[in-house]
A = this chain, B = another copy of it.
Amino acid sequence: MARYTNMQFLQFLLMDVHPVKDLFSYERFAHLDEEQAWMMIESAKLLADQEMAPYFKEMDEHPAKYDGNGNVITHPCLKKIIPAAAAQGWIGASASFEHGGMQIPEMIFGTAHHIFQAANNGVEGYLGLSAGAAGLITSFGTKEQIDSYVPKIFSGEWQGTMALTEPQAGSSLSDITTNAKPFENGTYKINGQKIFISGGQHEACSNFIHLTLARIEGAPAGTKGISLFIVPKFRIGSDGNLMYNDVYCAGDFQKMGQRGYATTHLSFGDNNDCIGYLVGEPHKGLTYMFQMMNGARISVGLCAASVAMAAYQASLQYCLERPQGRLASEKDPTKPPTLIINHADVQRMLFTQKAIAEGSISLGIECNRLYDLTHAATGDEKHAYWLLLEILTPIVKTYPSEQGSRSAALAIQTLGGYGFTTDFPVQQHYRDLKIMSLYEGTTGIQSLDLLGRKVTMEKGKALQLLSTVIMESVQQAMLVESLASSAKLVQDEIKGVQEVMNQLAGYAAAGDIEKYLADATVFLEMMSYIVIGWQWLKLALAAAKKLEQVGLSQSNIAFYQGKIHTLQFYCKYELPHTAACKATLLNKLELTRTNNFELFD
């Protein structure tokens, strides 16, 4: 079995870098210990090895496909994988005891899902979606709704989905038109079309519970008039039996990647017999959905990181086995070729991948940990965690999605022509990854969220808090000889953020909010370089501490030294691009707000 993630790295993350055990002092997680947590991770790895990784390529070669008649034909392995993963708890384990969950930290749940994503990211999609949909019901649904749907979703019998996007609206949720007409009994008649609904129909589940955004008749325009409904494909009749609820899968989308993961077009109420059940209060649907969406954004970012990690592992394995060429200093062509990992440029490509993939996974775990802390802690402490999570969410979604593609491109590059062929998995990783910058809010949307909402919230408190925690790591690293020069480089870049914010604030103060936001994507890119630099400082700090122990094996020493080495690599090769972003942001020429579209010719 080819390696697709690194268990030693995951253990290092959970035990040393972002210690999971800190969570166990909170009541919510007091029933757990480190050993139990790690055992769960190991079970997940076994499941991924046995049931997911073996189908990664096959599912790509036999894409999910609409049958012309309301169904989507999916790979048979799903019928085995979904129940097996559900039985181990990988749909419902992070839910509270009262909702049938195991109340495990999202950190552990997310780490298991990382393993699934690295093994077979399409398969993980079905599980993650169900978890998110169920979470929405447990958070905002009635007891009856929870009892009716959640157990079946947790068991993997029913698939949960999120049904937001409509053909005419895309990212602009304020323009959705799916209609909900109230009946006297409190239910609603639903009519509308939804596209790009992942897992909206397939053969491995017997019912589909669509968490659907719709507009109640007479609701205000815009996002303030959107409500959230449970719309099952088969509704529970008054006799307790299931009956068809007029939710028809009208087609699918064929895609360049994630081909085993069904992407559907759903039609609600073609025969005027589609009933939806309101979740929570009317017109608050978008607020509710954002809970799911925020979790989904961390999950998409982690997925991108996971796929990049899998590509890195495949790339590393190839570089350790393939002899080719000689070093420039070797002039004798009769000498045997060297392993390609001995070429400096190959090492550059490997360390770049490692820096991106591991840095991103670390940030994903960091965010899941903050999520856990916002649920476990109280008062000011809880609020601080929440602020940090808010400002990190657009970054954890975007950096791995954008840089992950670059990382997978380097994985292809290390394999040469072979990397472009279907004989090797790296080209599939590259194709699969491309969707991540579009899922759950595109890079542009995330950037507006960061600069427009998160930076400005509570008078800049989230950004201030983030700077504080980064500076804490910088200052700790300054005290460690092998990390000090890297810490200095990160510190320098943080100063640049203030400079940029001063200039941008001027635009906002002058009332030109569009100018303030025009380069939001470059701002997000700049912040991302710093945040990943911070993660590498944390990784290297934890490694430096480990290296103080006596009696470490040679291989463990190398593992920890590798973290320090990669921090240095990141600061030499990646971090300098922060300054390029800064130069762009400080350049006052306004070039992306023209009305003359012929300039594009």
Name A's B-contacting residues (CB within 8 A).
6, 8-9, 165, 169-172, 174-175, 195-196, 221-224, 253-257, 263, 316, 320, 322, 324-329, 333-334, 337, 341, 343-351, 354, 405, 409, 412-413, 416-417, 419-423, 427-428, 430-431, 434-435, 437-438, 442-444, 447-448, 452, 513-514, 517-522, 554-555, 558-559, 561-562, 565-566, 568-569, 572-573, 576-577, 579-581, 583-584, 587, 589, 591-594, 596-601
**A568 in contact with B580 given A434-B420, A599-B561 (CB within 8 Å):** no
Whether B442 pairs with A416 at a CB distance below 8 angstroms is yes
Contacts of A175 in B (CB 8 A): 324-325, 333, 337
Looking at chain A's contact residues, the main secondary structure is: helix
Contacts of A584 in B (CB 8 A): 572-573, 576
Q: Residue on B with the closest CB to A345?
A: B444
**A171 in contact with B416 given A253-B423, A593-B344 (CB within 8 Å):** yes
Instruction: Give 7 A-B pairs besides A253-B423, A327-B514 with Cβ atoms closer than 8 angstroms.
Output: A9-B601, A172-B324, A172-B325, A175-B333, A256-B431, A328-B452, A347-B591
Whether B346 pairs with A444 at a CB distance below 8 angstroms is yes
Whether A576 pairs with B580 at a CB distance below 8 angstroms is yes
**A565 in contact with B580 given A345-B447, A513-B328, A521-B348 (CB within 8 Å):** no
Q: A175–B521 Cα gap in the complex (Å)? A: 47
Most buried by B among A344, A447, A600: A600
Q: Residue on B with the closest CB to A598?
A: B558
Q: Can you tell how many copies of this chain the complex includes?
A: 2
Whether A333 pairs with B255 at a CB distance below 8 angstroms is no
Whether A591 pairs with B221 at a CB distance below 8 angstroms is no
Contacts of A562 in B (CB 8 A): 598-601
Contacts of A601 in B (CB 8 A): 6, 8-9, 555, 558-559, 562
Q: A417–B600 Cα gap in the complex (Å)? A: 23
Whether B333 pairs with A592 at a CB distance below 8 angstroms is no
Give the Cβ gap from A354 to chain B, nearest Cβ, in Å. 6
Q: A597–B350 Cα gap in the complex (Å)? A: 11
Contacts of A448 in B (CB 8 A): 328, 345
Whether A558 pairs with B420 at a CB distance below 8 angstroms is no
Q: A564–B520 Cα gap in the complex (Å)? A: 24
The listed residue (B347, B421, B438, B597) touching A420 by CB distance below 8 A is B438
Q: Residue on B with the closest CB to A222?
A: B333
**A420 in contact with B255 given A434-B412, A580-B576 (CB within 8 Å):** yes
Whether A413 pairs with B437 at a CB distance below 8 angstroms is yes
Whether A329 pairs with B589 at a CB distance below 8 angstroms is no
Whether A434 pairs with B417 at a CB distance below 8 angstroms is no
Give the Cβ gap from A144 to chain B, nearest Cβ, in Å. 33
25 interchain pairs (CB within 8 A)?
A169-B324, A172-B325, A175-B333, A221-B334, A224-B333, A328-B452, A328-B513, A328-B514, A329-B513, A344-B592, A345-B447, A345-B520, A348-B519, A348-B521, A413-B438, A413-B443, A417-B435, A419-B438, A420-B434, A555-B598, A559-B598, A561-B596, A561-B599, A576-B580, A576-B584
Whether A591 pairs with B572 at a CB distance below 8 angstroms is yes
Contacts of A165 in B (CB 8 A): 417
Q: Residue on B with the closest CB to A225?
A: B333
